[in-house]
Chains A and B, each alone.
Chain A
Amino acid sequence: ETGVTQTPRHLVMGMTNKKSLKCEQHLGHNAMYWYKQSAKKPLELMFVYSLEERVENNSVPSRFSPECPNSSHLFLHLHTLQPEDSALYLCASSQDLDTHTGELFFGEGSRLTVL
């Protein structure tokens, strides 16, 4: 299996829907991340988990709700989203939280379109 797997790869939802994005890593890493990638913009860090505990929440609107049930799985629950939330949502993992020396391993992303 590949290192970091994200599902679904593509998602279209209305503003009143509730959906979830799933991320699974098979690398034995301790830290997991959610990033938002919009066209021609820098990656935006949304949430960081270390050993299943949330350690960072970068002023993300409450319509995004993360969940990390164990060190291998990470979810992003979505509800009442806005069209400007349409983007590629990338999950990543690293061995530990010290990303200043350790590389990030990314999934291929979930392309979200909000109508």
Chain B
Amino acid sequence: GQNIDQPTEMTATEGAIVQINCTYQTSGFNGLFWYQQHAGEAPTFLSYNVLDGLEEKGRFSSFLSRSKGYSYLLLKELQMKDSASYLCAVVDSNYQLIWGAGTKLIIKP
């Protein structure tokens, strides 16, 4: 079966750095997405990786290793507004999106 694993919940301190991991076992790979979802709001696109390496976008970076079936989302200079759920999703060989259950990130002052 296909599976996406990410931690259920993480806690970090305002101003610090946090890394949210995502490992996947899917039938093929055609890209990986990260979405952010604040409580009671719509998920919004953060990043898309299809090649190995690090993609940086402001305070957020996303890393991919296809050989390891692994990605992470790195959030720097954490702000209270970064408290949200972070969803990892992989595009499989049939171009279907396979979703993880999401990681709830709690930022403390």
- Which residues from chain A sit less than 8 Å from chain B, CB to CB? 4, 40-43, 45, 90, 98-101, 103-109
Contact = CB atoms under 8 A, between A and B. Distances in A.
A101 B48 contact: yes
Closest 7 CB pairs of A and B: A103-B45, A106-B42, A42-B99, A100-B91, A43-B99, A100-B30, A108-B42
Nearest to A2: B42
B44 interface: yes
B31 A45 contact: no
16 contacts: A42-B99, A43-B89, A45-B96, A98-B95, A99-B97, A100-B30, A101-B31, A101-B48, A103-B33, A104-B35, A104-B97, A105-B42, A106-B42, A106-B43, A107-B42, A108-B40
Given A42-B100, A43-B87, A106 B44 contact: yes
B8 A40 contact: yes
A108 B8 CA distance: 21
A103 B42 CA distance: 13
B54 interface: no
Contacts of A40: 8, 101-102
B43 A42 contact: no
B8 to A, nearest CB: 7
